[in-house]
Amino acid sequence: MTVKASDLRELLTSDLPDPTLVLVEGRLAVVPVDDLDTDRFRGALLLLSRTELLARGVDETSPDDALERQAATISTAVNELGA
């Protein structure tokens, strides 16, 4: 599973309340954190919240290469879970 800069940019620019990036049924989705308690997202793997991403020093104005570095780190962590 590969997280891309575009996935992180979607998280950063989301209008949703408390958006999070999750892996659900093999796909990435940006959803409000409160939706993780619903049947639709039960079992989803929470990857990152917008707040956590901002704390890593990137925001919606960050260049793609900065987001790609963060995306690669997240992808590696998720792929290691399956190892």
Chain segment 40-66, per-residue pLDDT in tens: 998 899 999 999 999 999 999 999 999
| pLDDT single digits (tens) 16-44 | 999 999 999 889 999 999 999 999 998 89
pTM: 0.91
Cα Dmax for the chain: 36
CA-to-CA distance for 7 and 28, rounded, in angstroms? 8
Q: Total domain count for the chain?
A: 1
Question: For residue 19, what are the domain limits?
Answer: 5-81
Identity of residue 26: G
